[in-house]
Chains A and B, each alone.
Chain A
Amino acid sequence: MERPQLSSWQFFLLTISHLIGSAFFYIPSTLVGTSKQISWILPLIAGAFTIIIACLWLHLASQYPKHSLIQICLKVGGKYVGCFFALLYIWYCLQITSWVTRDIGNFAKMTLLPHTPITMFHIMFLLIICYASIKGIDTIARTNELLLPIVIITLFILFLLTIPDWKWERFEPLLPFDWNASVKNTSNLMAFPFFESFTLMIIIPYVKNKAKKNFLLGMGCYTLLLSMVTFFIIGTLGVVRSSHAIYPLYTIMQEIQISPLIEHLESTISMILLTTIFVKISITYYCCVLGICQLFQLKDRTWVSIPLILLVSGIAMAFEDIVEDVDWYNKYAFANGALYGIILPLILLAVSGIRKFSNRQKENIAK
């Protein structure tokens, strides 16, 4: 198998894109719905907590340099337990890929092409993703290097166009707010999308230098971006309408009116969503394929990538509709995310520590 090399800048952009995915499109509505005017603060809190937890992940990675997450699992857990752990992480990648694929399906069906079967979006999208994953992470990284700046600049221009609708009164009153709901929101936010970035540990060995710094920096930048998007949504759309809309950002773009002739700019935001989701799914799909290849020591990714399309598009249909998706997110997102983002890394760290300690003991006895 080839050994690609990612520059620190590419990895920084990949981290941001992986986190952006579909989250900045879906999350603000849920946040504003319960935490009202203070909801823009929650991403900052969730981001800060996750950065602390990410230090744990990076500590684990630093103990096994040049090893991917799957290889770390095998090294720490041994043949059987390690294999089980690795399978869990491959499943996690598969889960994320399927959910995000479903997100794009839901969005496209609801807003762009209501009569087209949702599976058609999934399969068409996954075919391109499959092609990207066969080409490798360096191709995905280069594509992302080109697309992400365009996405950010377009988003910024669109924000500027909505300034006439801005009202500061929409941020009042700041208090009182529902503490319980805010804590729950923050924890869910940590799970989706922050904990999902743990899957990037599969590609971290391919980063030439400053991987840790750029990973944390990427997280920090995304945290600020999500907070800014939520802040912007409150200021432009208001708490009431944002909390009722499924896609508040889409609604805002729909209502841009530069003149009676230039209005309805929602297709621009649809393109942004398609781009960010493409990069996110490409990364997780690639991680999934690479994980399987590393676990079963396969050399050619192609024959893993192609059948995975059917598996992903099948799992993507697990939720009946968006209501079930939102319900699952509210009830189980944190528990699911914490398993892969906190519990398993802690177990791996603990076992690794015990192994190192016992090895040292053995060495001492041998001396």
Chain B
Amino acid sequence: MRVKKMIVVIIVCCLTYCLSGCWDMVEINQLAIINMTGIDFDPKTKKLKVYYHIINPKGITAKPGVDRAPFYSFHVEGSNTSQIISKANNVIGRNLFPDHYQAIVVTDRFAKAGIKNTINFHERQVERRSFIHLFVTESPLEKIMKTYMTLDKLEGTALRALAENQAKEFGTVSKFSRMKDIAENMETSATTFLPIVGIQDSNQPNAKRYEEINANLGNLVLTGGAIMKKDQMIGRLGLSDMKSTLILRGENERFYNTLHSNGKMMDIQSINTKVNKKLTIEDGTPIWKVNLYTELRILDNNLDEPLTLQNQNKVKERYKKFLIKQLIAIYEKGKKQNWDLFDLEATLQRSQGKEWKNMHKKDSWKKIKLDLEVNCKFIDVGEIIDPYKGKGS
């Protein structure tokens, strides 16, 4: 019995040599850990230029400095993916490790040409990260990829944090601007909005930002949103238009607005915004009924009168009108520019029945009328109900 047990133990010990570690062993010192990727496409040469931010682990732990950079930016050029990967390995000298990357930046000309190949390549990878945000840049990619961020040592991590914070708190970036969202919309008529980033106040790549106290200079900044249909960029929106679009799409729960009245102003934050959307047809005319409810917080009140129930109601009415005007403006702008910003074409396609039969043509969504209703209530007026009156009163 004892001998039998010994034989079993010896066999098990021998079998451990067959375990996977022999083949799939990974040495951290042999990896080039990618934090961010940048892709540009030159239509003249038909070549792709790919930038990699490779993390320097020693630089992450050390104090920032030129000799201990948190990451290094490598770039390679090639006509196809295999060329790029092999060239990258020639330059970097380590195995590319994409499992931990945080952001992908593509140039606007590449986005306009179509990023299908990039999405397919990305989706094919088993170890991919599909919830990372995809960014578009109108600035030269070289500058974007050769810039250090100040508070976050890694640019990819900083950009991801920027996008996620904006989407959550200010509503100028869509929370559905991730790789998986654009992949999901690749075969439908739904629109994806990708954040556009640029460099602030700088014409040169800036790798010495740690020594510069003016953090704005050469910083990455959000400048708007790219409208993506399938895999192609079809237009751009400014930050305020992005905000309105995302409100009407129901993707924006928190946003800020300023009301002006007789030279005085009131800053209001909308929170817990809920949007109910329904497409109906009345007398052959499709109507998109949108019911928006939001809760209001007064952030800054410069009105010259104390807040009473009466003038609070007035503010509420003015705010409703203001919001309706803002949202109708973006709706009409979309129609005018031929941008289906609210996925109305897809909604029309989903509507089944006799009455919808003539509405399944390509541009039928433009016939849809918007019927918008806004409801709101104040939930937080702040610590002072009667603002101080100074010289300007």
Contacts and interface: CB of A to CB of B under 8 A. Distances in A.
Given A115-B23, A173-B349, A240-B187, A123 B180 contact: no
A172 B184 CA distance: 14
B291 interface: no
B131 A257 contact: yes
Contact of B15 (A114, A127, A237): A127
A112 to B, nearest CB: 8
Contact of B20 (A120, A238, A240, A264): A120
A63 interface: no
Nearest to A245: B123
B350 interface: yes
Q: DSSP class of B's interface residues: helix, strand, loop or mixed?
A: helix
Interface in B328-375: 349-350, 352
A245 B186 CA distance: 14
A238 B187 CA distance: 11
A244 B122 CA distance: 13
B188 interface: yes
A113 B24 CA distance: 6
Contacts of B326: none
Contacts of A120: 18, 20, 23
A175 B160 CA distance: 39
B130 interface: yes
Interface in A224-259: 237-238, 240-241, 244-245, 251, 254-255, 257
B84 interface: no
A111 interface: yes
Interface string A170-203: 0011010000000000000000000000000000
B126 interface: yes
B130 A116 contact: no
B131 A255 contact: yes
A171 to B, nearest CB: 10
A366 interface: no
A55 interface: no
A267 to B, nearest CB: 12
A354 interface: no
Interface string A148-182: 00000000000000000000010011010000000
Interface string B119-151: 000010010111100000000000000000000
A117 interface: yes
Contact of A255 (B20, B22, B180): B180
Contacts of B352: 173, 175
A110 B15 CA distance: 23
A200 B183 CA distance: 42
Contacts of B184: 237-238, 240-241
Contacts of A264: 129
A245 B125 CA distance: 11
Contacts of A257: 131
A245 B124 CA distance: 9
Interface string B235-262: 0000000000000000000000000000
Contacts of A173: 349-350, 352
Contact of A117 (B23, B128, B129, B130): B23
Contacts of B188: 240
Interface in A122-137: 123-124, 127
A263 interface: yes
Nearest to B179: A255
Contact of B24 (A114, A124, A251): A114
B123 A244 contact: yes
B175 to A, nearest CB: 10
B186 A240 contact: yes
Nearest to A110: B126
Given A240-B187, A241-B184, A257-B131, A116 B20 contact: yes
A254 B130 contact: yes
Contacts of A260: 160, 164
A257 B185 CA distance: 20
B130 to A, nearest CB: 5
A172 B185 CA distance: 14
Given A110-B126, A241-B184, A172 B24 contact: no
A221 to B, nearest CB: 31
Contact of A113 (B20, B183, B186): B20
A116 B180 contact: no
Contacts of A254: 128, 130
Nearest to B351: A173
Contacts of B183: 240-241, 244
B11 to A, nearest CB: 9
Contacts of A113: 20, 23-24
Given A117-B23, A175-B352, A124 B18 contact: yes
A123 B22 CA distance: 16
Interface in B157-189: 160, 164, 180, 183-188
Contacts of A241: 180, 183-184
Nearest to A241: B184
A43 to B, nearest CB: 23
Interface string A101-116: 0000000001111111
A117 B19 CA distance: 10
A39 B186 CA distance: 21
Contacts of B20: 112-113, 116, 120
Nearest to B25: A115
Contacts of A124: 15, 18-19
Interface in B1-50: 15, 18-20, 22-24
Interface in A84-121: 110-117, 120
B392 to A, nearest CB: 45
A286 to B, nearest CB: 21
Nearest to B11: A127
Interface of A: 110-117, 120, 123-124, 127, 169, 172-173, 175, 237-238, 240-241, 244-245, 251, 254-255, 257, 260, 263-264
Nearest 3 CB-CB pairings of A with B: A116-B23, A113-B24, A115-B23
8 contacts: A110-B126, A112-B20, A116-B23, A120-B18, A175-B352, A238-B184, A240-B184, A260-B164
Given A112-B20, A113-B24, 12 more contacts: A113-B20, A116-B22, A116-B23, A117-B23, A120-B23, A172-B350, A237-B184, A241-B180, A244-B183, A245-B123, A257-B131, A263-B131
